[in-house]
């Protein structure tokens, strides 16, 4: 799957295509092959590794290769040839890691360290192994305009963003992660391209008017020419997995991959990735993000599904967040009471076929009994749930330490695959904001306006009254370089006492998950939730206690401000396996101080 040294390009409607070699300043006419592809003549010299090149369709301007491996001059400049076969890999002994039941850690390369590069991120990998992380998930690396951004506006999907270090830096990162026993997941975006630097339509029918997405016209997955567009997507995925030794891909918003063909592109991708896994002899995972609450995402094609390995399940986050914060604005309107948390921790989706007050219609479908809980990735924070808040404020900015400890325990002891968001493990106080770097002033202003309009619909002004003027929320400017600067992690924080304590708690819970058969199980049928029905669960500050039963192990939570006696419903003697603050076991009950959590199991 290496990028060829003899560049070719698909341009089915073109009358001519020239390969532009920027070094010598020559144009080499390419030859059509009769199937829409234009290839280098046999007698022509191939493009050397490290050389710059571009394509011109029908005498038009120089454009990057739709499969460009590197854009060192930015997304509007020439492509640079890269041969992944030249990378000096040392991970021949790496056996791989399936995402199911891995402890996943999501990070954004540009804000994970002060330098904001892949090489700088390598220097922090030992922190992750000490924490107990097993898979690092990198937010999108595909090249986008400017230097700073979340990565979801990528336009050169085969290229590693140059400010992060380019393709060689990604290879070094993956190799370094594998040497430490860490798997690597890469977030990829196939449902849309960014608003600037997207030249694909000059080459072929990459988009269609038949379907539309929140970003505009949909990627052409089922119309004329779609076979090559699907090939462009699948080859991209296989390239990361084969050439860069990546272990998993997280597929952004798969519900926006609108495909009415007999075989969905996700099923095609799943089959091809399974074949590659068999070839390389290690597990390769596909993790889907979807807002449909539909278990068919992970069901095999033979059962009417699309065959993903796992999928994100946002509802556990929503249920935990609404419970411990009391927030009910926007999509949190469907969450808050303990019965909803119980549903999220046992049935996965909320709703799962019932009424959604936020959507104003029935939503979702029931996950079949017996489905392994490890096929669902859950979290207390992620890039969306923090970054799409008006001020990018993390839970640590608003919650007391006990509530943060409770959130960690509910996620890390759940029957699902847990994921952490960078800095969460020590209660980072730095915000994580939305930031962009668009050169077009009109586009930049449109982004500002759009963000303000989006926040206006979710009741954020009520949550942040100090930031509202005449009822309109004042939010940080995404284009301001200070916005991204404020979002970078402060690596001095973990050594400070209040942060070190939380970090130690995360380490303890992750270690316990690995040593406790009950907590490591994905059996949702062995999970139940009990709670104090006397509490006023519409307001978190008036809530009392709850117990999550994981087999014979109990996760005991006191959300009240004062001490609570909680019945454990355990037969025989019990012992405290982990506790945020000292807990007393007395006559089959656990006595917990206010705002605390403990894990209790048989002695």
Secondary structure string (H, E, C) spanning 449-517: HHHHHHHHCCCHHHHCHHHEECCEECCCCCCCHHHHHHHCCCCCHHHCHHHHHHHHHHHHHHHHHHHCH
Place of tokens 């449109």: 446
Q: Please say if the pLDDT value at position 2 is more than 60.
A: no
**3-class SS at 333?**
helix
| Helical packing angle, 226-242 and 265-280, nearest 10° | 30
Tokens representing 16 are 């001519």
**Residue ranges at the known binding site:** 250-255, 314-318, 383-388
Q: Please say if the pLDDT value at position 383 is more than 80.
A: yes
Q: How far is CA 326 from CA 191, 411, 429, 561, in A?
A: 34, 18, 20, 14
How many of the other CB atoms lie within 10 Å of CB of 132? 20
Q: Which of 18, 52, 106, 252 is catalytic?
A: 252
Q: Please say if the pLDDT value at position 465 is more than 80.
A: no
**3-class SS at 181?**
coil
**Residue ranges at the known binding site for substrate:** 250-255, 314-318, 383-388
Q: What is the pLDDT of residue 541?
A: 41
CATH homologous superfamily for the domain 532-602: Golgi alpha-mannosidase II (2.60.40.1180)
- Confirm whether 106 is a catalytic residue: no
Q: How far is CA 46 from CA 43, 53, 355, in A?
A: 9, 11, 60
pTM across the whole model: 0.96
pLDDT digits (tens, 9 = 90+) for 140-153: 999 999 999 999 99
Q: Is the dihedral of CA 460, 461, 467, 473 positive or negative?
A: positive
Q: Which of 65, 175, 243, 289 is catalytic?
A: 289
Domain regions of the chain by residue span = 532-602
Residue 244 CA neighbour count, 13 Å, CB half: 32
Least confident of 106-115, 130-139, 432-441, 524-533: 524-533
**pLDDT grade, residue 474 (50/70/90)?**
confident
pLDDT digits (tens, 9 = 90+) for 107-160: 999 999 999 999 999 999 999 999 999 999 999 999 999 999 999 999 999 999
* DSSP code, position 359: T
Tokens representing 494 are 């973990």
Mean pLDDT value of segment 582-599: 96
Give CA–CA dist 201/294, Å, rounded: 32
- Confirm whether 137 is a catalytic residue: no
């Amino acid at each position: 799957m290496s990028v060829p040294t003899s560049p070719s390009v698909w341009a089915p409607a073109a009358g001519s295509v020239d390969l532009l070699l920027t070094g010598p300043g020559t144009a080499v006419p390419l030859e059509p092959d009769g199937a829409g592809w234009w290839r280098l003549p046999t007698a022509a010299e191939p493009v050397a590794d490290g050389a710059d090149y571009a394509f011109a369709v029908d005498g038009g301007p120089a454009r990057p290769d739709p499969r460009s491996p590197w854009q060192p001059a930015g997304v509007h400049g020439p492509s640079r040839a890269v041969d992944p076969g030249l990378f000096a890999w040392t991970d021949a002994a790496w056996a791989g890691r399936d995402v199911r039941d891995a402890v996943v850690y999501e990070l954004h390369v540009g804000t994970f360290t002060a330098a904001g590069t892949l090489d700088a991120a390598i220097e922090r990998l030992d922190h992750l192994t000490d924490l107990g992380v097993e898979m690092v998930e990198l937010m999108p690396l595909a090249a986008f305009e400017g230097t700073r951004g979340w990565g979801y506006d990528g336009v050169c999907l085969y290229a590693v963003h140059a400010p992060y270090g380019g393709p060689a830096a990604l290879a070094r990162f993956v190799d370094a992660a594998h040497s430490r026993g860490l798997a690597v997941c890469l977030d990829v975006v196939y449902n849309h391209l960014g608003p600037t630097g997207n030249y694909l339509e000059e080459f072929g029918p990459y988009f269609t008017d038949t379907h539309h997405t929140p970003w505009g016209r949909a990627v052409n997955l089922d119309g004329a020419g779609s076979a090559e567009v699907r090939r462009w997507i699948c080859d991209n995925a296989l390239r990361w997995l084969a050439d860069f030794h990546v272990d998993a891909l997280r597929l952004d918003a798969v519900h926006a991959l609108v495909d009415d063909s007999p075989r969905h592109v996700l099923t095609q991708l799943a089959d091809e990735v399974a074949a590659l896994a068999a070839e390389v002899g290690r597990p390769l995972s596909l993790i889907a993000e979807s807002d449909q609450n539909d278990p068919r995402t992970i069901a095999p094609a033979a059962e009417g599904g699309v065959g993903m390995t796992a999928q994100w399940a946002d509802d556990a986050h929503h249920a935990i967040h609404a419970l411990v914060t009391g927030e009910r604005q926007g999509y949190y309107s469907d969450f808050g009471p303990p019965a909803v948390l119980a549903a999220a921790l046992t049935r996965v989706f909320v709703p799962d076929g019932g009424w959604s007050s936020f959507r104003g219609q029935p939503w979702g479908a029931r996950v079949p009994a017996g489905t392994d809980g490890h096929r669902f990735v859950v979290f207390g924070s992620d890039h969306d749930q923090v970054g799409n808040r008006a001020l990018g404020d993390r839970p640590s900015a608003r919650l007391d330490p006990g509530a943060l400890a409770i959130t960690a325990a509910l996620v890390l002891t759940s029957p699902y695959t847990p994921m952490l968001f960078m800095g969460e493990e020590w209660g980072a106080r730095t915000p994580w904001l939305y930031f962009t770097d668009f050169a077009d002033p009109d586009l930049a202003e449109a982004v500002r306006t759009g963000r303000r309009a989006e926040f206006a619909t979710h009741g954020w002004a009520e949550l942040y009254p100090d930031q509202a003027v005449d009822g309109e929320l004042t939010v940080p400017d995404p284009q301001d370089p200070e916005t991204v600067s404020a979002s970078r992690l402060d690596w001095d924080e973990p050594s400070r006492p209040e942060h070190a304590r939380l970090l130690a708690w995360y380490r303890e819970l992750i270690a316990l998950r690995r040593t406790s058969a009950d907590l490591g199980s994905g059996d949702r049928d062995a999970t139940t939730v009990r709670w104090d029905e006397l509490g006023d669960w519409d307001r978190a500050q008036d809530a009392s206690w709850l117990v999550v039963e994981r087999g014979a192990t109990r996760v005991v939570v006191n959300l009240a401000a004062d001490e609570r006696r909680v019945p454990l419903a355990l037969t025989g003697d019990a012992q405290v396996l982990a506790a945020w603050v000292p807990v007393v076991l007395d006559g089959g009950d656990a006595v917990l101080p206010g705002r605390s959590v403990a894990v209790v199991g048989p002695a």
